[in-house]
Structure 1
Amino acid sequence: MAKTLDQMMQSLPDDLRAAAEARGRELIREEMTLQALRKQLALTQEGMARRLDIRQANISKVEKRTDMLISTLRDYIEAMGGTLELVAHLPGRPQVTLDGFADPQGQKE
């Protein structure tokens, strides 16, 4: 019979469980803001503005937003040389990558 993650974690010795929980916290902290990602790639707001053909002030606004269009986020990520995938995590199901958000050639959100 399969064990749940909680059961497996409880069966670990205290030091291993603490190390696993600490690593989990590290992974959560690794989530980055757009600004942090841009800086890690050694890109300036001015450089991003040129890549996106918009004003630098608009880059600042995009980086501060907590809610934006997926197309705006996709354009920003692609301007850094990346690709955007939208992944759904649902209880009791494997993760699902949603199609139709990565193609800038007319795909609608």
Structure 2
Amino acid sequence: MSKTLDEVIDSLPADFRAEVEEYGQELIREEMTIQALRRELGITQECLAEQMEIGQANVSKVEKRSDMLISTLRNYVEALGGRLEVIVNIPGRRPVTLEGFGSQHEKVD
């Protein structure tokens, strides 16, 4: 008798299921575009444009770019209510969060 995926997952130890869920969420986060993130948060381009003090057409242009200034991305993320972090992953080393790319309102020493 074959088992469904849900039955297999339910048979796993709780701590392992939690690890699998977290890993799955990491994979989803890695592949999400800024447009998909905005949509998932239920925020319209018009609302975001108002937050960023730019036109809706400019939000659309930002979402279509594959290359942009970090400050543009930071402003976009902050308008969504988030905080931008730049994390460097190098094989064989722990991830490193680069300083100086956070909120434009943070105090710089």
Q: Which residue of 1 aligns with 2:98?
A: 98
Q: Which amino acid aligns with 2:88?
A: A
The alpha-carbon distance between structure 1 residues 26 and 53, as it changes in their structure 2 partners (threshold 3 A), is closer
Inter-partner Cα distance in structure 2 for 1:42 and 1:104? 25
The alpha-carbon distance between structure 1 residues 39 and 67, as it changes in their structure 2 partners (threshold 3 A), is same
Misfit runs of 4+, over 3 Å: 23-27, 105-108
Contact 2:87 2:96 in 1 (8 A): yes
Matches within 5 A, 1:27-46: 27-30=26-29, 31-46=31-46
Inter-partner Cα distance in structure 2 for 1:86 and 1:51? 22
Q: Which amino acid aligns with 2:100?
A: G
Instruction: Tell me how large the CA RMSD over aligned residues is.
Output: 2.8
Contact 2:85 2:98 in 1 (8 A): yes
Count of residue pairs brought into register by the alignment: 90
SS of residue matched to 2:97: strand
Q: Which amino acid aligns with 2:45?
A: Q
Inter-partner Cα distance in structure 1 for 2:25 and 2:100? 32
Contact 1:100 1:107 in 2 (8 A): no
TM-score, normalised to structure 1's length?
0.70
Where does structure 1 lack aligned partners over 5 or more consecutive residues?
1-15
TM-score, normalised to structure 2's length?
0.70
Matches within 5 A, 1:37-76: 37-76=37-76
Q: 1:62 Cα shift?
A: 0.4
